[in-house]
Structure 1
Amino acid sequence: MLLTLEIVPAHEGDCLMLHWGTAADPKHALIDGGPGDVYDKKLLPRINQIRASRGLNTPLKLSLVMVSHIDNDHITGVKKLFAGMEALVGGSPKKSPVLVDRLWHNTFNDILDDDVDEYYEQVTASFTASVGGEPNPKIESKVQSAFIAKGEPQADAEFQARVVSEILAGQPDGRDLRNSFEVLKAANWIKYSLNAPFTKAGKGTLIKVDKTPMSADIEGLQLAIYGPMQAEIEALQAAFDQYIKSKGLNVEAVLAAYADKSVPNLSSIVCYVGMKNGAGQPRTILLTGDARGDKIIESLRNTKTLTGASMHVTILKLPHHGSNRNLAPDFFTTITADHYVISADGKYGNPDCDTLKWLVEARGKSAVYDIYLTYKPKDIDAKHKAEVESKGKTWDEKTMSIELFFKSAVAQGYKFRYHQGDVLKIDLGDETLPW
């Protein structure tokens, strides 16, 4: 059997392809599409390369496209893919590079129910618009001030403001993607309802842990949902209810609703993927989006998936690009893996050197495992250093350098291996990816 996770370099974002089935009859899924030009420069060329290698003169069928959440560094490439298909509606589907069976996408409309339509029409353009593909710096500054006013330390306020501004910048893309989906579904270019099989009364519903069926079988691939939790979605709804309904619909009210650490990224889908290879050995992948590590562990315990002190998966995609703000040392003692995937290029300091230290120290010197980075450590360091110095701060190589940390850890006898650079593939089945 074939089971391969492909990691596409996506700047500061995520873009993953999953291939399973058999080498002769492979199935494909896309998890996130990265920001900016990732679709045009990386994802679409890779899709066309797969088509050419397989000798296809028809679109590549994606059995599943999943958007973990609406940050622009996850959703933009998927929006472009769907917009490209939508532009061809009325012509032959054969002209499209892909056709999609199902889309998993927790849209902001569904998270906030009907209130979001009024919100979107009246105030979105005034404060969520990106600037050159980046989150709006004016909004980031406003949110940072709100966190500082709540007593948050400067570094925490900067991080939370960045997260919030990314989410806000991604909301128009989320709505555009939903609109493209509806056009494609009406034209019978997409087979299943939104978020199928997670549906209610025949219509797509939010994917969440405790209000929908937890698991799905997609052409032999088993997927179980471990985030978001209903209580988290309700917290996000309550925040908007409190500020928007009581204080009126305006920019300041909406920003105030986000000025809480518990709100950002709570809609992130956490998905546990499983399949047996030809020898019957289970292979598992934990896809975490930008969820918080403590929330992931809480959900795994609540659902009795994690019943002891720890659990092991074959592949762990680190949450939020390896940010130390979403993780703590106990995350790496609670969830261990054979392969750790970190998608980040140094922007915003991701991955944090602290995160890698926690991982390596948790596993100890004798453990053998693999770490995958989408960019070279020296390039990650260079971008991080430039960003630190642009803010008038000091780059401390001893505590911040990924490259230096890896060299030091290897010299001390730690046995992990790390892989870096362009498209990386992790083959888990007894068949390997032939293209």
Structure 2
Amino acid sequence: MTDNLFRLEVLRALYGDCLLLHYGTQAKPKLALIDGGPRTVYDNSLRPRLEQIRDERGLDEDTPLRIDLMMLSHIDEDHVFGLLELTQELLDARNNNAPRIVEIEDLWHNTFDDIIDNDAEELTQAVTAGIGPAALNGELPDDLVADLEETDQTHDVFDTIKIVASVGQGRDLRNNADDLPIERNVETDGRLVMASSETQPFNMGGGLSLTVAGPMLADLGVLQKKHNEFLAAHPELALHIAAALAEYADNSPFNLSSIVVLATSGNKTILFTGDARGDKILEGLELVGILDKGARLHVDVLKGPHHGSSNNVSLEFFQRVTADHYVFSGNGKFGNPERATVEALTEARGEDPYEIHLTYPIDEIDSARKDDWDQHRRDELRRRQTKPKTKVRPEWSDADHSLAAFLDANPDVLERLRFVDEGVPHSIDLTTQP
């Protein structure tokens, strides 16, 4: 009979991430929650699953489920929002003397204020003053949208508003944690969770150790520099600050701040990558001594970076970090998981045994990917009218661009796919014999 527990559970999280890590022993199980997905994920996926786990453990209504560690990889809305809703529910329960669904022992969360060593309130105030408070919910005034469409900046601005909104959401999560109270970054004595050449594994109890391989101090310095440069360049906070903010989102600087963690239990390993770039993941693994320069690392599970975006991975990444199980959480919105990512993975692994775990059906993913592709093409065609050298992608072709066509042509890859079904727990069980 098995006793040691090490199991990754993947939840449907739309275009975001929401993961549960079960560890410890069967007799004394522990639980970690990694990211909470965007809006609606908490109500539709995370909360129902937490209630099921309470029932599985035989807890009564007045006994909260213990979450030993809650980790936010970074503050993008598609990772933070569910955690914000969870902590807000806990505050409401406390204020109403109602039973709590969970109790959270430890929160790993690098707030934007901590990262830039500043008060990020000035950034969100800039957006509110220039566009209005609705902008922090991703809404822009109609007249501003029309004006931005003429300058081909709409797509960039919406991406940027999403980022800026996340700054406030990350701060709200920190404030909720302070009010509950939940201790934050206990293992680092309240300082940033980050990687350095002196990094050592954290013993989390229950046989689990976590080694932080990102973010790296140098990359956090880049983020600080971008923040300061932005504020220096835009002191006037004019109405069109949204267009200027697009500069701030260049190269997705928040993704440089993703927490990257190697989780180890016995001889089993899971690599959590958040939305980090593949080259930065390799660099961080080398920095902390997990990976020798030019060498390869094999893990049992790799949580695919940035929902399978091809901008975050390469053939080299998949050649150097291999796994038995690959998890790509995404429903096709924003194009993820991308066909190019699956192609690179399959080229890197050849006939090796492995499985790919997807959180939504292929047809649903492809439908959303096509919508995203078509929107980008319209933006590019419009941009070409004023900038003739603008590169315009071809019209969507199922044969050339869909995952379904690639899988039809590669039935061996199709056989490796595993899907997260709605309402059904989906686990990758690495539990070992004692």
| TM-score interval, normalised by the smaller of the two chains | 0.7 to 0.9
- Code of the aligned partner of 1:376: P
Q: Distance in 1 between matches of 2:149 and 2:323?
A: 35
Q: Is the 8 A contact 1:128 1:169 kept in 2?
A: no
For the residue of structure 1 that corresponds to 2:256, the secondary structure is coil
For the residue of structure 1 that corresponds to 2:70, the secondary structure is strand
Deviation at 1:169, TM superposition (A): 2.6
Deviation at 1:257, TM superposition (A): 5.4
- Which one of 243, 256, 273 corresponds to residue 266 of structure 1? 256
Give 1:325's aligned residue. 311
Q: Distance in 1 between matches of 2:167 and 2:29?
A: 33
- Code of the aligned partner of 1:407: D
Give 1:357's aligned residue. 343
Give 1:424's aligned residue. 426
Distance change in 2, residues 1:103/1:15 (3 Å):
same
Distance change in 2, residues 1:119/1:163 (3 Å):
closer
For the residue of structure 2 that corresponds to 1:265, the secondary structure is helix
Q: Is the 8 A contact 1:164 1:264 kept in 2?
A: no
- Which one of 71, 80, 105 corresponds to residue 75 of structure 1? 80
Q: Is the 8 A contact 2:7 2:428 kept in 1?
A: yes
Distance change in 2, residues 1:295/1:409 (3 Å):
same
Q: Distance in 1 between matches of 2:81 and 2:317?
A: 29
Give 1:368's aligned residue. 353
Distance change in 2, residues 1:409/1:145 (3 Å):
farther
Q: Deviations over 1:29-69 (max 9, x none)?
A: 10000011000011000100111122101111000001111
Q: TM-score when scaled to structure 2? A: 0.84
Q: Distance in 1 between matches of 2:132 and 2:306?
A: 21
For the residue of structure 2 that corresponds to 1:306, the secondary structure is coil
For the residue of structure 1 that corresponds to 2:255, the secondary structure is coil
Q: Distance in 2 between matches of 1:343 and 1:140?
A: 30
Q: Is the 8 A contact 2:131 2:141 kept in 1?
A: no
Q: Distance in 2 between matches of 1:141 and 1:29?
A: 45
Distance change in 2, residues 1:260/1:183 (3 Å):
same
Q: Is the 8 A contact 2:196 2:287 kept in 1?
A: no
Q: Distance in 2 between matches of 1:228 and 1:11?
A: 25
For the residue of structure 1 that corresponds to 2:36, the secondary structure is coil
Q: Is the 8 A contact 2:135 2:161 kept in 1?
A: no
Q: Distance in 1 between matches of 2:429 and 2:8?
A: 7
Distance change in 2, residues 1:114/1:124 (3 Å):
farther
- Which one of 97, 102, 122 corresponds to residue 101 of structure 2? 97
Q: Distance in 1 between matches of 2:121 and 2:149?
A: 26
Give 2:383's aligned residue. none
Deviation at 1:165, TM superposition (A): 3.9
Deviation at 1:134, TM superposition (A): 5.0
- Code of the aligned partner of 2:258: S
Give 1:240's aligned residue. 227
Distance change in 2, residues 1:406/1:109 (3 Å):
same
Q: Distance in 1 between matches of 2:147 and 2:65?
A: 43
Q: Distance in 1 between matches of 2:200 and 2:146?
A: 39
Q: Is the 8 A contact 2:278 2:312 kept in 1?
A: yes
Q: Is the 8 A contact 1:5 1:18 kept in 2?
A: yes
Q: Distance in 1 between matches of 2:353 and 2:158?
A: 35
Give 1:154's aligned residue. none
Kindly indicate whether residue 177 of structure 2 is the aligned counterpart of residue 181 of structure 1: yes
Q: Distance in 1 between matches of 2:88 and 2:282?
A: 36
CA RMSD across the alignment = 3.0
Give 1:6's aligned residue. 9
Q: Deviations over 1:120-159 (max 9, x none)?
A: 445456559667965769999999999x99xxxxxxx96x
Q: Deviations over 1:238-262 (max 9, x none)?
A: 1222231465263369726515326
Q: Is the 8 A contact 1:32 1:77 kept in 2?
A: yes
Identity %: 40
- Code of the aligned partner of 1:119: L
Q: Distance in 1 between matches of 2:165 and 2:26?
A: 39
Kindly indicate whether residue 69 of structure 2 is the aligned counterpart of residue 64 of structure 1: yes
Distance change in 2, residues 1:130/1:382 (3 Å):
farther
For the residue of structure 2 that corresponds to 1:87, the secondary structure is helix
Q: Is the 8 A contact 1:128 1:165 kept in 2?
A: no
Kindly indicate whether residue 112 of structure 2 is the aligned counterpart of residue 112 of structure 1: no
Distance change in 2, residues 1:246/1:405 (3 Å):
closer
Q: TM-score when scaled to structure 1? A: 0.84
Q: Is the 8 A contact 1:30 1:64 kept in 2?
A: yes
Distance change in 2, residues 1:140/1:375 (3 Å):
farther
Q: Is the 8 A contact 2:67 2:103 kept in 1?
A: yes
Q: Distance in 1 between matches of 2:321 and 2:248?
A: 29
Q: Is the 8 A contact 2:66 2:102 kept in 1?
A: yes
Deviation at 1:362, TM superposition (A): 0.6
For the residue of structure 2 that corresponds to 1:248, the secondary structure is coil
For the residue of structure 1 that corresponds to 2:55, the secondary structure is helix
Deviation at 1:335, TM superposition (A): 0.5
Q: Distance in 2 between matches of 1:16 and 1:130?
A: 30
Where structure 1 has 5 or more consecutive residues not aligned to the other structure, the ranges are: 150-156, 277-281
Deviation at 1:385, TM superposition (A): 2.2
Q: Is the 8 A contact 1:128 1:168 kept in 2?
A: no
- Code of the aligned partner of 2:54: R
Q: Deviations over 1:88-110 (max 9, x none)?
A: 23455x70100000111111111
Deviation at 1:214, TM superposition (A): 4.2
Kindly indicate whether residue 44 of structure 2 is the aligned counterpart of residue 45 of structure 1: no
For the residue of structure 2 that corresponds to 1:234, the secondary structure is helix
For the residue of structure 2 that corresponds to 1:404, the secondary structure is helix
Q: Is the 8 A contact 1:211 1:230 kept in 2?
A: no
Greater shift after overlay, 245-254 or 293-302? 245-254
